[in-house]
Amino acid sequence: MQVVKNLQDLNKVLKIVSNKSIGFVPTMGSLHRGHLSLVRASKKKTDYTVVSIFVNPTQFDNQNDYNNYPINLQNDISLLNNEEVDLLFIPDYEELYSSEKLIKIDLHNLDKVLEGKHRKGHFDGVVRVVSIFFNLIKPQYAFLGEKDYQQYLIISLLAKELFEKVKIILCPTFREESGLAMSSRNLRLEAKYSKETKKLFELLTYCKKNFDVENRKKLEQICFEKLSQFSSPEYFEIRQSVDLTNEGELSDKWRAFTATKFGDIRLIDNIALN
């Protein structure tokens, strides 16, 4: 595995492999099995897999969250070596953003609800950094996890509008034995919350079993109240899978989305309901 940290070396390497299909896996490090599943999906589908590790400050609405984001670079490098990743890109913030080409895109309100509503400016930062990566790496495929489903929709729209040669591949959420969705932030969870975090996926499963499009508002309220019994919820909402609107028919595809805190650690999750 080649490891590059500057744009000059990145361009040199990518020029050599320009005739190969490139798969891209963007990460913020502290890798877990969910990340590695994206790497494996890329290796299976493409000739050349690029992984980035970059804790992007422009997508954090909370400076404390950014400062405390878990970093374990040596372990990450070891894991990616074992997966036989072709190229690991670990950019410097100043240099990366110096290559930014300002873009303008209408996200059709995908960035105004759920995470966008509760984390002001978050998706602006996501769109900025992903645009930079797509311009630099020019992948044919990018692999994203289902846990960040709203982010997947936004990056898919970005690709459709401005990077039509990039196909976005959605990969399943990987979960702990307890059902908790794997996340780098899980590393910061205190042990005393282990029983409570297990209840998060149980609640999503309860929502799925009891889903009725006609009574979804009542189900949202019930689930929010249940969530309040073991954590500090920000939202529990049922929305359409295609555009995150909250109006539709039974024939539409629906998902439940939630964000809640266990102590100081904020976790998100979602589940397909039908």
Quote the strand ranges of 37-187, DSSP E: 48-53, 87-89, 141-145, 167-171
Taking Cα atoms as reference points, which of 140, 143, 137, 168 lies closest to residue 4?
A: 137
Question: What DSSP character marks residue 18?
Answer: T
Q: For all residues of the chain together, what is the average pLDDT?
A: 96
Tokens 């361009």 correspond to: 11
Lowest mean pLDDT among 45-54, 110-119, 163-172, 190-199: 190-199
Q: Which residues contact 225 (CB under 8 A, 6 or more apart)?
A: none
Question: What DSSP character marks residue 148?
Answer: G
Domain ranges of the chain: 2-171, 184-272
pLDDT, tens only, 23-49: 999 999 999 999 999 999 999 999 999
Tell me what pLDDT residue 250 has. 84
Q: Which residues contact 28 (CB under 8 A, 6 or more apart)?
A: 53, 54, 55, 56, 69, 184
Tell which CATH classification among 3.30.465.10, 2.40.110.10, 3.20.20.70, 3.30.1300.10 matches the domain 184-272. Answer: 3.30.1300.10
Burial of 237 (0-12, 13-18, 19+ CB in 10 A): buried
CA dist 208 and 110 (Å) reads 23
Which tokens is 177 given?
A: 């034995």
This prediction has a pTM of: 0.96
By residue count, the chain amounts to 274
Q: Which residues contact 48 (CB under 8 A, 6 or more apart)?
A: 17, 20, 21, 22, 23, 86, 87
Tokens 């372990």 correspond to: 75
pLDDT, tens only, 222-254: 999 999 999 999 999 999 999 999 999 989 999
What φ, ψ does residue 260 adopt, rounded to 5°? -155, 165
What is the rounded average pLDDT of the residues 69-91?
Answer: 97
Q: Calculate the dihedral angle through the C-alpha atoms of 169, 174, 179, 181, rounding to the nearest 10 degrees.
A: -70
CA dist 172 and 152 (Å) reads 12
Strand 254-262 and strand 232-240: the pairing is antiparallel
Question: Quick check: is 108 catalytic?
Answer: no
What φ, ψ does residue 31 adopt, rounded to 5°? -70, 150
Domain 2-171 sits in which CATH superfamily?
HUPs (3.40.50.620)
Which tokens is 54 given?
A: 């970059």
Tokens 């400016």 correspond to: 121
Catalytic residue among 32, 35, 118, 122: 35
